[in-house]
Structure 1
């Protein structure tokens, strides 16, 4: 059946044939199709979901051969690979039904599905070498507040307890003259801390599209690493608070485009079977970078000032974050460029060479490359004549994806995680930890944050994105309340007080890492349809960095106004708000094709919100009262065909 004969479902009817079960709604075809532009917009995602649907194997072989010969890709063996690859691209899992494959080729394709983690060394190298250094690249800088000596030996001890920022800031804020309790000082400290994310939100992330267009994925990574290295070195030489602000603001030119480019590169080079898991590893290695940032606290804790240099320890720490950037710059061009980027620039043979290094066999490379080609052709042929950013708002399917993406990106910050990540050492100092113990406790939180992100590689595609968040948000709220309320334990009970505060932050890390940690980037990368995905990801990353900035700049003053108890309770309350937002407005996306996602996001918001509310009594009946009730199914997977509607086929 032709993909263009499938209909965007958007209206509902009651299924009266299911007795003694929760109300079950399913889609029926829309009979009113609107204007030609509206029909084209509705049909756009269906065509992008599989532009090869409906072709015979003979026709696909002819197309594959023509593609290889037209673009002069390889020899006879490569032409054969494209003939078979075009057939496989239509339904990769149906490889057993493709005539002409050798037994060895069928075994390679079988292993692709049976053992999805068995990849060429080049794929594993690209997967780890890019994400690990680039995650470390900005995270130690983002956490650079943790670096350096905890206290100036010449400062009175009471000033340590009065500080509201972490690590190196405790040192340089005195040197910069912003160490007082005045409102101006606390806001300046917060502004310096959050400066990179201000740049990311309003400038950096929006450079992603032009940078990738001009320089490619590798070039963008190289350029942003250069920005990061220069900014890191710059931070080590400043002598005023405004110079530190400017240096850290410049850091955003590296963080913003890089944070959007690396997940896109992973999605474009990874095999389909493990694409979701590889994309979410960005967040896992981000957590690893946080952990190493805390480890650096302890490594440089004892650095002392030589004659003539003030604050050598925090200066070295600020500048040391340039080394991951330099490492990436050295080997980034040893990795293959994104085949999709080569295809965008009509460099077909180079695209084929690139993807051949990332697959076990030429058949797999030809299959994936030809499918990229058909998708790009479909995207190019479908120009609706409207600004892509406006498409995010004006098209209901896109708008619902945007709302869900913005919710998870907003809540990734306003769950309060970076209160702990940025100011953990100061929080532990306020809890009467010794300076070295505060750094060690921060390192412990970093280790937990990383270790508990690893299981998400598997749970994100099994348990589901929405279920992970609905499970972990209440637990994050409890952990935040527990941490804040632990500050009420009298200081006379020192052991109990410090243990409870540390335990609360650790428990928060345990439940944050597999949930709100990895889900937002993965969800945002898959929720948008292909033709607006780059713009959607730019908006998503700008959102998370903006609210990162808001959290970083406001926490010092918030803690002063609310006390530690009130500050943690504030973010505990936001976790509760986040739970309701996810329940009402965030559809599940796990294990769904693009066409199925179009169906999911075609559900009107009011219907999905009502469905979410009905899930609450279902949960209590099923899991607490142990009743045998069946779950409600909001959207069906079966295809709906409108016979004879030639006007809908675009």
Structure 2
């Protein structure tokens, strides 16, 4: 197992040291600034100069000392603590040193952060509650509107399509319109919090309207309006949570959206059961059930107003002082808040230059001071002189890269001893002219990124009051949508997010979440609405209970890995679930169907139930995150809407067993798609994910098909017996080893 040795130590180094070679990838933008040599004229180092210029532009000169410490802390935590040892209190040192310790989980974060995440969870609960409430309206609503939904009643195709449309219209509306308006609403008018408040107001109005409707058209219109609000919340709240969450617990926080959705499903089914038991008038029952959607909506409307706005949103709109205050509210100490603030700024700055086509990944963020891409100071202080004598010589790799995959193990093993560049050295600012030529095809990859008129964009940014020309401030929503396809990095992230979102619908879980009542009524051959409600309640409880492990599995195992583990198990369990409907004895069939529905959910909840939204909220660049998340959520909701629309007709045409066999096959298809196209995102900062998706998709396919397959084939017995296994090299590191030198010489 030579290729596995030394991996742990290499993983510990990755966030502190930069890689060598021409295809350099910046893990931390601040590492590109020198913080040793003091300029004789400005009396500041290069890092200090960058912070000072930003402080002047952002009108934060009074916070310069704090920002300088934050930049140094972001650059190198241990060096910063050593430099400021005499000024830091013991409590501050402990908070910084132990920030990512196992005991520094959710309940050890600031009270504002905890309150904000719990408030945001109500958005997920509203979505789940709406699903199960619409499911439960199958008791009473079809009779009032003269719709046939039972197999035994020889239903017409028209009735089945109408019933499917009533359940699908909120999802289709959410995917087509809700996600479309989410970005302009939050970026141009109301911000994250204000947009959520407006969505809640729309939900309240449409829910009240649905309760008093008397025709199918009226109900469909109210549900369509409700869907717009659902789509907006589903696009906004995961981003809001991701932008607030610390990196080491971000997976758990993002899993919270789907767990809150599962909790909403449970409470919706609980209310459904209570309604069936205690409300004898079916016409009143479905209206009362619909009105219960207001229970989580009204608290969210009130509480979100009291929470801090997303600091990264504030930064993108030039409200730097408010952004810093927001970071201070959600962090445990102002020192960590200043670090997050400066790191977010540096990454926005670097991403913006790359998106504008004015830089490529070989350039350093320090070039920003020389390129003049920001609004200039009236008297810009001179930069530090050329420090060529301080440059650490590049260490050329001695690895002879193989021409076939059979030699991969040799390469992985040899790289363990390859030294790295000292992190104090500056990266070459000449795009490889000093002995490291930049491949022409890579230059072209960045030269065709953006077609926007940047000068016009700068003027738009100034009108918005943002003194710093972030790409997000100079590009309209629709141009950012186009860039999701034009920009290769965004296109890869969109593929990853769309595959993960669509795979959730391939599981077939929403046929139960949205249409469980009709499934149970038609399949277990009982007219007991109470029995159907009890089974639905058990499904909702299982969704939440089995989803709880995702809180620690998301960051321990990984989002993509959880999906890959879940799909094969969901495939066989839903296959068995479908064949159980052939049991003739109802006393045996009902409990067996219920048990395997729960078995299926046990595999679904901690894997496909939580990972897709987590992945989609974190894979896009900060400057394109709203547009990317909107498209990803649209894919998910449109997939769910189409599924709910056609499933009643398919179910009536081919029966329960054949219907669920289709989903068993789709689970296997989803496994293949996720395995090949969804890189692992565990334990990487939102900003560092930028560089994972710089790498071509075909490299990831080879990584999974060749390297990971070999790793699993050699270690499967250890995994099965619980013995210690050295983890495989992450895709990001593997690509450095396999393609770094080849890129230099190509």
Q: TM-score range by the shorter chain?
A: 0.7 to 0.9
3-state SS of the aligned residue for 1:203? helix
Pair 1:60-2:60 in alignment: no
- What is the alpha-carbon distance in structure 2 between the residues aligned to residue 585 and residue 577 of structure 1? 12
- Residues 463-508 of structure 1: CA deviation (Å, up to 9, x unaligned): 1223212211111011111111000011xx2222111100111011
| 1:330 aligned partner | 302
Pair 1:212-2:309 in alignment: no
| Native 8 Å contact 1:294 1:446 kept in 2 | yes
| 1:175 aligned partner | 144
3-state SS of the aligned residue for 1:427? helix
Summarize the Cα distance change of 1:352–1:611 in structure 2 as closer, same or farther, 3 Å threshold. closer
| 1:190 aligned partner | 164
| Native 8 Å contact 1:53 1:90 kept in 2 | no
Summarize the Cα distance change of 1:373–1:422 in structure 2 as closer, same or farther, 3 Å threshold. same
3-state SS of the aligned residue for 1:169? coil
| 2:89 aligned partner | 103
- What is the alpha-carbon distance in structure 2 between the residues aligned to residue 595 and residue 74 of structure 1? 25
Deviation of 1:333 after TM superposition, in Å, equals 1.3
Give the stretch that moved more between structures: 360-369 or 547-556: 360-369
Summarize the Cα distance change of 1:521–1:98 in structure 2 as closer, same or farther, 3 Å threshold. farther
| 2:132 aligned partner | 143
| 2:269 aligned partner | 294
Give the stretch that moved more between structures: 450-459 or 181-190: 450-459
3-state SS of the aligned residue for 1:328? helix
| Native 8 Å contact 1:410 1:544 kept in 2 | yes
Mapping 1:15-414, distance limit 5 Å: 50=29, 53-56=32-35, 58-61=45-48, 63-64=50-51, 67-68=54-55, 71-73=58-60, 78-92=63-77, 95-99=80-84, 101-104=87-90, 105-114=92-101, 115-117=103-105, 118-131=108-121, 133-146=122-135, 167-179=136-148, 181-213=155-187, 214-304=189-279, 311-382=283-354, 383-384=356-357, 385-386=450-451, 387-414=479-506
- What is the alpha-carbon distance in structure 2 between the residues aligned to residue 621 and residue 381 of structure 1? 44
- What is the alpha-carbon distance in structure 2 between the residues aligned to residue 246 and residue 292 of structure 1? 25
- Residues 133-159 of structure 1: CA deviation (Å, up to 9, x unaligned): 21122221122223xxxxxxxxxxxxx
3-state SS of the aligned residue for 2:330? coil
TM-score of the aligned structures, taking structure 2 as reference length: 0.72
| Native 8 Å contact 2:622 2:687 kept in 1 | no
Deviation of 1:113 after TM superposition, in Å, equals 2.5
Deviation of 1:610 after TM superposition, in Å, equals 4.3
| 2:509 aligned partner | 417
Summarize the Cα distance change of 1:635–1:379 in structure 2 as closer, same or farther, 3 Å threshold. closer
Deviation of 1:638 after TM superposition, in Å, equals 8.9
- What is the alpha-carbon distance in structure 1 between the residues aligned to residue 700 and residue 112 of structure 2? 43
Deviation of 1:413 after TM superposition, in Å, equals 1.0
- What is the alpha-carbon distance in structure 2 between the residues aligned to residue 93 and residue 466 of structure 1? 32
| 2:529 aligned partner | 435
3-state SS of the aligned residue for 2:606? coil
- Equivalent residue for 2:672, pick from 576, 580, 583: 580
- What is the alpha-carbon distance in structure 2 between the residues aligned to residue 546 and residue 289 of structure 1? 20
| Native 8 Å contact 1:64 1:84 kept in 2 | no
RMSD: 3.3
Summarize the Cα distance change of 1:432–1:179 in structure 2 as closer, same or farther, 3 Å threshold. closer
Summarize the Cα distance change of 1:95–1:631 in structure 2 as closer, same or farther, 3 Å threshold. closer
Length, aligned pairs only: 583
Unaligned runs of 5+ in 1: 1-16, 20-27, 32-41, 147-166
Mapping 1:566-645, distance limit 5 Å: 566-592=658-684, 597=689, 600-614=692-706, 615-616=708-709, 619-620=712-713, 622-623=715-716, 635-636=732-733
| Native 8 Å contact 2:200 2:229 kept in 1 | yes
Deviation of 1:511 after TM superposition, in Å, equals 0.5
Unaligned runs of 5+ in 2: 5-18, 37-44, 150-154, 358-449, 452-478
Deviation of 1:603 after TM superposition, in Å, equals 4.8
Deviation of 1:269 after TM superposition, in Å, equals 1.8
| 1:453 aligned partner | 547
- What is the alpha-carbon distance in structure 1 between the residues aligned to residue 306 and residue 684 of structure 2? 34
Deviation of 1:427 after TM superposition, in Å, equals 2.6
- What is the alpha-carbon distance in structure 2 between the residues aligned to residue 128 and residue 295 of structure 1? 21
